[in-house]
């Protein structure tokens, strides 16, 4: 039986990936840090909270990472843990860097010294491109120009992942994933913030929503599709980096349009207020990724389109709130 270690098991992607790996008969270990009121709600939502072996550790604590790697000796390590909210990264740039950048380095180094045959996946991001190729489509060859402390921390981790592959012949891959969402997306991200409030407005539990820049465009896909790409990358003979995206881009306004209409509310502009607190000091205007390399080499393609994704999220929030 193959052993997989997932960091970030309690997050959105960790839960979907764990479900996928359990379905493939992996023994799944999840790294969890010590926090008060631990919440396994994403794993409970997918019905797998009892099927995972949890192991304590924190990305900021090198000793705990060494212990985890030495004890489990996983075949595959999916490193998804991060301070993943771009907005917070301007308020907490140091903790973001300590977790995302230095934390990734600590984990890579623990693997190098204690179990170098493990395959390593790093959760890189389209945020690394910034506004490069503005008005164009981003590919694996697009120059990076990160525009937030989050993006910079991820770019450091991206290059460390490449460097450990090139320097120590370790199997290290970067998945450069564009935005992906689901019914268990964190509520601070714009997609889930919208679908949660749309459901609340529909049920008479909220009156309006405060948002920032409605003209931003993102290439939004479904998390369930994207974790499959992570697994496929790890099954390749040669480690390589891949963009994972749908190739389509939509604005926050498009998202609002579909979400409100799906709930039977015609004009979203009656419910949306612009609040400068939700605007970013440096914005990424348009992200749109070309995933041709993954489609050709990994035989991967997204199954859920934008409209289906928004409707799935609204339906899930309506169902949850009605309960
Ligand atoms: P998420 O829901 O925010 O989950 C983040 C996870 O990281 C949580 O399990 C969290 O644990 C854990 N974590 C944070 N700090 C930690 C620490 N110091 N030690 C150990 N664990 C820690 O993120 P996601 O959306 O699933 O994304 C997964 C990864 O992909 C992240 O690295 C993200 O940056 C990257 N990414 C995401 C997207 C996207 O659109 N979703 C796109 C590109 C890249 P707690 O429960 O303890 O907080
Ligand atoms: O913002 C705009 C905001 O926070 C999307 C993370 O998973 O994907 C995610 O990062 C857009 C931005 O995601 C609000 O300005 C408007 O232009 O949902 P978001 P993100 O910043 O794109 C990447 C790929 C990651 O790697 C990250 O980990 O929506 N926007 N009004 C708003 N955003 C939020 N959060 N809240 C608003 O009220």
Pocket-forming residues, ligand 2, beta carbon under 6 Å = 84, 86-87, 125-127, 178-179, 188-191, 193, 211-213, 216, 218, 252, 278, 280, 283
Residue 174 maps to a domain: yes
CA distance 235 to 27: 16
CA distance 279 to 216: 10
What pLDDT digit, counting tens, does each position of 99-145 carry? 999 999 999 999 999 999 999 999 999 999 999 976 689 999 999 99
State the residue range of the domain holding 231.
3-180+222-244
Residue 140: name the closest of 152, 122, 149, 128 by CA. 128
In degrees and rounded to multiples of 5, residue 28 shows phi and psi of -110, 125
pLDDT score recorded for residue 5: 98
Residue 130 maps to a domain: yes
Residues 289-312, buried b or exposed e (16+ Cβ, 10 A)? bbbebbbeebebebebebeebbbb
Residues 142 and 129 in one domain: yes
Residue 32 has pLDDT above 80, yes or no: yes
Residues 195 and 118 in one domain: no
pLDDT score recorded for residue 190: 98
Residues 43 and 126 in one domain: yes
pLDDT score recorded for residue 65: 98
Q: What percent of the chain has pLDDT over 70?
A: 99
Q: Average pLDDT, stretch 65-92?
A: 98
Residue 256 maps to a domain: yes
Residues 200 and 112 in one domain: no
Residues 33 and 168 in one domain: yes
Residue 59 maps to a domain: yes
Residues 91 and 198 in one domain: no
What pLDDT digit, counting tens, does each position of 260-278 carry? 999 999 999 999 999 999 9
pTM: 0.98
Kind and range of the H or E run holding 295: helix 292-297
What pLDDT digit, counting tens, does each position of 141-195 carry? 999 999 999 999 999 999 999 999 999 999 999 999 999 999 999 999 999 999 9
Residue 231 has pLDDT above 80, yes or no: yes
CA of 157 to the centre of ligand 1 (A): 14
Query: 139 in helix, strand or coil?
Result: coil
H and E: helices and strands count for the chain: 12, 13
pLDDT score recorded for residue 134: 60
Q: Specify the number of domains making up the chain.
A: 2
**Catalytic, out of 7, 10, 125, 249:** 125
What is the length of the chain?
A: 323
* Region class of 20: left (phi > 0), else alpha (psi between -120 and 50), else beta: alpha
Residue 292 maps to a domain: no
Dmax of the chain from CA atoms?
A: 59
């Amino acid at each position: 039986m193959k052993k997989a270690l997932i960091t970030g098991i309690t997050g959105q992607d960790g839960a979907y990936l764990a479900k996928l790996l359990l379905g493939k008969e992996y023994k799944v270990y999840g790294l969890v840090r010590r926090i008060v009121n631990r919440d396994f709600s994403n794993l409970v939502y997918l019905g797998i909270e009892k099927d995972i072996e949890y192991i304590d550790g924190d990305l900021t604590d090198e000793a705990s990472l060494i212990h985890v790697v030495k004890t489990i000796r996983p075949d595959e390590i999916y490193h998804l843990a991060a301070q993943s909210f771009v907005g917070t990264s301007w308020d907490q740039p140091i903790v973001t860097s300590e977790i995302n950048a230095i934390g990734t380095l600590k984990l890579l180094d623990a693997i190098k010294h204690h179990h170098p045959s493990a395959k390593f996946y790093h959760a890189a991001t389209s945020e690394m491109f910034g506004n490069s190729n503005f008005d164009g489509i981003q590919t694996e060859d697009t120059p990076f120009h990160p525009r937030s402390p989050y993006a910079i921390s991820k770019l450091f981790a991206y290059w460390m992942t490449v460097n450990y592959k090139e320097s120590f012949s370790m199997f290290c891959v970067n998945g450069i994933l564009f935005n992906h969402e689901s019914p268990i997306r964190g509520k601070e991200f714009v997609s889930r913030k919208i679908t949660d409030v749309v459901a609340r407005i529909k049920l008479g539990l909220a009156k309006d929503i405060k948002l920032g820049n409605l003209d931003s465009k993102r290439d939004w896909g479904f998390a369930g599709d994207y974790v499959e790409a992570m697994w496929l990358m790890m099954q390749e003979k040669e480690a390589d980096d891949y963009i994972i995206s749908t190739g389509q881009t939509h604005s926050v306004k498009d998202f609002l349009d579909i979400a409100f209409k799906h709930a039977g509310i015609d004009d979203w502009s009656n419910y949306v207020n612009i609040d400068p607190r939700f605007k970013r000091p440096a914005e990424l205007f348009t992200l749109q990724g070309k995933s041709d390399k993954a489609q050709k080499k990994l035989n991967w393609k997204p199954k859920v389109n934008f409209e289906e994704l928004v409707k799935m999220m609204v339906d899930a929030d309506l169902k949850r709130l009605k309960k």
